[in-house]
Amino acid sequence: MRILILNGPNLNLLGTREPNIYGSQDFQSYFEQLKSSFPQVELLYYQSNIEGELIDKLHECGFSYDGIVFNAAAYTHSSIALADAISAITSPVIEVHISNTFARESFRHHSYISPVCTGVLVGFGLDGYKLAITSLLTP
Ligand code: DQA
Protein backbone atom coordinates (compact mmCIF):
# COMPACT_ATOMS: atom_id res chain seq x y z
CA MET A 1 0.00 0.00 0.00
CA ARG A 2 1.55 3.30 -1.12
CA ILE A 3 0.08 6.71 -0.34
CA LEU A 4 1.40 10.13 -1.35
CA ILE A 5 0.87 13.12 0.93
CA LEU A 6 1.03 16.17 -1.31
CA ASN A 7 1.15 19.70 0.13
CA GLY A 8 0.90 22.92 -1.85
CA PRO A 9 2.16 26.46 -1.39
CA ASN A 10 3.14 27.90 1.99
CA LEU A 11 2.50 24.61 3.79
CA ASN A 12 6.28 24.30 4.24
CA LEU A 13 5.77 27.03 6.86
CA LEU A 14 3.37 25.00 9.01
CA GLY A 15 4.25 25.52 12.65
CA THR A 16 5.27 29.14 12.17
CA ARG A 17 2.67 30.34 9.65
CA GLU A 18 -0.45 31.84 11.29
CA PRO A 19 -0.44 29.32 14.19
CA ASN A 20 -3.86 30.61 15.32
CA ILE A 21 -5.26 29.13 12.09
CA TYR A 22 -2.93 26.24 11.25
CA GLY A 23 -1.55 25.22 14.66
CA SER A 24 2.01 25.21 15.94
CA GLN A 25 3.23 21.80 14.78
CA ASP A 26 5.53 21.60 11.76
CA PHE A 27 4.60 19.11 9.07
CA GLN A 28 7.82 17.10 9.23
CA SER A 29 7.18 16.12 12.87
CA TYR A 30 3.52 15.39 12.07
CA PHE A 31 4.65 13.22 9.15
CA GLU A 32 6.80 11.15 11.55
CA GLN A 33 3.66 10.62 13.69
CA LEU A 34 1.70 9.58 10.60
CA LYS A 35 4.36 7.03 9.67
CA SER A 36 4.21 5.46 13.12
CA SER A 37 0.39 5.45 13.05
CA PHE A 38 0.38 3.56 9.75
CA PRO A 39 3.41 1.22 9.79
CA GLN A 40 1.76 -0.98 7.14
CA VAL A 41 1.61 1.92 4.65
CA GLU A 42 4.49 3.24 2.56
CA LEU A 43 4.00 6.99 2.93
CA LEU A 44 5.71 9.50 0.65
CA TYR A 45 5.65 13.21 1.49
CA TYR A 46 6.16 15.95 -1.10
CA GLN A 47 5.61 19.70 -0.78
CA SER A 48 6.02 22.38 -3.41
CA ASN A 49 5.22 26.06 -3.75
CA ILE A 50 5.14 25.65 -7.54
CA GLU A 51 1.93 24.64 -9.32
CA GLY A 52 3.73 22.79 -12.15
CA GLU A 53 5.74 20.70 -9.68
CA LEU A 54 2.52 19.61 -7.97
CA ILE A 55 1.12 18.62 -11.38
CA ASP A 56 4.31 16.68 -12.18
CA LYS A 57 4.04 14.79 -8.87
CA LEU A 58 0.37 13.93 -9.54
CA HIS A 59 1.41 12.56 -12.96
CA GLU A 60 4.36 10.66 -11.49
CA CYS A 61 2.46 8.93 -8.67
CA GLY A 62 -1.12 9.06 -9.93
CA PHE A 63 -1.08 5.86 -11.94
CA SER A 64 0.66 3.59 -9.43
CA TYR A 65 -0.09 4.83 -5.89
CA ASP A 66 -3.07 3.50 -3.95
CA GLY A 67 -4.11 6.99 -2.98
CA ILE A 68 -3.10 10.64 -2.76
CA VAL A 69 -3.91 12.96 0.15
CA PHE A 70 -3.74 16.45 -1.32
CA ASN A 71 -3.79 19.84 0.36
CA ALA A 72 -3.51 22.15 -2.64
CA ALA A 73 -3.57 25.16 -0.30
CA ALA A 74 -4.36 28.43 -2.15
CA TYR A 75 -4.22 26.67 -5.56
CA THR A 76 -7.44 24.95 -4.48
CA HIS A 77 -9.25 28.18 -5.16
CA SER A 78 -7.58 29.06 -8.46
CA SER A 79 -6.21 26.09 -10.35
CA ILE A 80 -8.06 24.48 -13.25
CA ALA A 81 -4.72 22.87 -14.16
CA LEU A 82 -4.60 20.94 -10.87
CA ALA A 83 -8.22 19.84 -11.33
CA ASP A 84 -7.36 18.60 -14.83
CA ALA A 85 -4.33 16.72 -13.48
CA ILE A 86 -6.49 14.98 -10.87
CA SER A 87 -9.02 14.06 -13.57
CA ALA A 88 -6.23 12.65 -15.73
CA ILE A 89 -4.83 10.22 -13.15
CA THR A 90 -6.31 6.99 -11.83
CA SER A 91 -5.34 7.02 -8.12
CA PRO A 92 -8.07 8.27 -5.75
CA VAL A 93 -7.33 11.75 -4.41
CA ILE A 94 -8.62 12.98 -1.05
CA GLU A 95 -8.70 16.77 -0.66
CA VAL A 96 -7.66 18.01 2.79
CA HIS A 97 -7.72 21.46 4.37
CA ILE A 98 -6.40 22.04 7.86
CA SER A 99 -8.66 25.02 8.52
CA ASN A 100 -12.40 25.21 7.96
CA THR A 101 -12.26 27.12 4.69
CA PHE A 102 -16.03 27.69 4.82
CA ALA A 103 -15.66 29.67 8.04
CA ARG A 104 -13.12 31.99 6.38
CA GLU A 105 -13.09 34.50 3.50
CA SER A 106 -15.58 33.81 0.71
CA PHE A 107 -12.79 33.29 -1.86
CA ARG A 108 -11.85 30.15 0.10
CA HIS A 109 -15.36 28.68 -0.22
CA HIS A 110 -14.88 27.51 -3.80
CA SER A 111 -12.62 24.60 -4.69
CA TYR A 112 -11.77 23.73 -8.28
CA ILE A 113 -10.56 20.31 -7.18
CA SER A 114 -13.45 19.08 -4.96
CA PRO A 115 -15.58 17.83 -7.91
CA VAL A 116 -12.75 15.60 -9.15
CA CYS A 117 -11.64 14.29 -5.75
CA THR A 118 -12.95 11.12 -4.12
CA GLY A 119 -13.64 12.92 -0.84
CA VAL A 120 -12.99 16.16 1.01
CA LEU A 121 -11.91 16.72 4.63
CA VAL A 122 -12.06 20.30 5.86
CA GLY A 123 -11.38 21.84 9.25
CA PHE A 124 -10.06 18.89 11.27
CA GLY A 125 -6.59 20.40 11.72
CA LEU A 126 -3.64 18.14 10.92
CA ASP A 127 -5.85 15.18 11.87
CA GLY A 128 -7.46 15.61 8.45
CA TYR A 129 -4.45 13.88 6.89
CA LYS A 130 -4.84 10.93 9.27
CA LEU A 131 -8.57 10.70 8.55
CA ALA A 132 -7.86 10.80 4.81
CA ILE A 133 -5.36 7.92 5.05
CA THR A 134 -7.86 5.96 7.16
CA SER A 135 -10.49 6.48 4.47
CA LEU A 136 -8.10 5.21 1.78
CA LEU A 137 -7.43 2.09 3.88
CA THR A 138 -11.14 1.40 4.35
CA PRO A 139 -12.45 -0.89 1.63
C1 DQA B 1 -5.58 25.59 3.41
C2 DQA B 1 -6.73 26.58 3.18
C3 DQA B 1 -6.43 27.47 1.99
O4 DQA B 1 -7.48 28.39 1.78
C5 DQA B 1 -5.14 28.25 2.22
O6 DQA B 1 -4.83 29.02 1.08
C7 DQA B 1 -4.01 27.40 2.63
C8 DQA B 1 -4.24 26.29 3.55
C9 DQA B 1 -5.81 24.76 4.68
O10 DQA B 1 -5.16 23.72 4.80
O11 DQA B 1 -6.60 25.14 5.56
O12 DQA B 1 -2.86 27.67 2.29
O13 DQA B 1 -5.54 24.68 2.32
The structural domains of the chain, ordered by start, are: 2-137 (3.40.50.9100)
Residue 16: per-residue pLDDT:
97
Q: Give tens-digit pLDDT for 68-99.
A: 999 999 999 999 999 999 999 999 999 999 99
The secondary structure of 68-91 as a DSSP string is EEEE-GGGGGT-HHHHHHHHH--S
Cβ atoms of 10 and 75 closer than 8 Å: no
Residue from 22, 30, 112, 129 carrying the catalytic annotation: 22
d(CA 65, CA 43): 10
Residues of the chain with pLDDT under 70: none
d(CA 67, CA 127): 17
Residue 139: per-residue pLDDT:
79
Residue 97: per-residue pLDDT:
98
Task: Give nearest CA residue, ligand 1 atom 8.
Answer: 73
Give the Å distance between the CA of 97 and the centre of ligand 1. Answer: 6
Nearest atom, ligand 1, residue 22 CA: 11
Q: What's the predicted TM-score (pTM) here?
A: 0.98
Give the Å distance between the CA of 8 and the centre of ligand 1. Answer: 9
**Ligand 1 neighbour 97 (Cβ under 6 A):** yes
Phi, psi of 121 (to 5 degrees): -125, 120
Instruction: Walk across the sheet containing 93-97 and list its strands.
Output: 42-47, 2-7, 67-71, 93-97, 119-122
